[in-house]
């Protein structure tokens, strides 16, 4: 069994154009993202190991923010799909992406309403 390296950015918030109801369309709404990426691990990580041996964490944040652009996504599942696609295109070493999205505007009593989508490279 091969070793794996998981990189994660958790509880990152970004405004995204998403929703199907009239009160959701026309303006962005806040989403909370947790993005987890699985990479094949190197044999060892020494103190002087270069960044090329891993992946820049900011790539995860980019995929869940600027890469979404101004597109309106009807479903947050489509938002998650776009984040996965962006990360797969960015780096051939990405084996799996998991995207958790919480719709903050729907919370009435601090509950966490959302989805988690996990995709493996095909």
CA angle in degrees (0–180, nearest 5) for 15-16-22: 115
Looking at residue 110, its pLDDT comes to 79
Average pLDDT, the chain: 92
Q: What is the pLDDT of residue 85?
A: 97
Q: What's the pTM value of the predicted model, to 2 decimals? A: 0.91
- Other beta carbons within 10 angstroms of residue 98's beta carbon come to 19
For the chain, which residues make up each domain, given as ranges?
4-120
- Structure confidence by residue, pLDDT tens digits, 4-41: 899 999 999 999 999 888 877 888 999 999 999 999 88
Q: List Cβ neighbours of 29 (8 Å cut-off, separation of 6 or more).
A: 15, 16, 17, 18, 19, 103, 104, 105
Question: Tokens 């966490």 sit at which residue?
Answer: 112
For 8, 25, 39, 88, the CA distances from 119, given in Å and listed in that order, are 15, 27, 13, 10
pLDDT attached to residue 37: 97
**DSSP code, position 63:** H
* Architecture of domain 4-120 in this structure: 2-Layer Sandwich (3.30)
Q: How confident is the model over 41-71, as pLDDT tens digits?
A: 888 999 999 988 889 999 999 999 999 999 9
């Amino acid at each position: 069994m091969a070793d794996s390296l998981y990189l994660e950015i958790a509880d990152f918030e970004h405004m995204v154009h998403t929703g199907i109801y009239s009160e959701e369309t026309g303006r962005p709404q806040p989403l909370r993202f947790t993005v987890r990426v699985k990479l094949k691990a190197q044999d060892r990580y020494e103190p002087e190991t270069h960044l090329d041996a891993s992946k820049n964490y900011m790539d995860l944040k980019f995929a869940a923010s600027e890469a979404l652009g101004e597109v309106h996504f009807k479903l947050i599942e489509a938002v998650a799909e776009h984040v996965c696609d962006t990360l797969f295109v960015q780096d051939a070493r990405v084996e799996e992406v998991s995207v958790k999205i919480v719709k903050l505007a729907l919370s009435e009593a601090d509950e966490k309403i959302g989805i988690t989508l996990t995709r493996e490279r095909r």
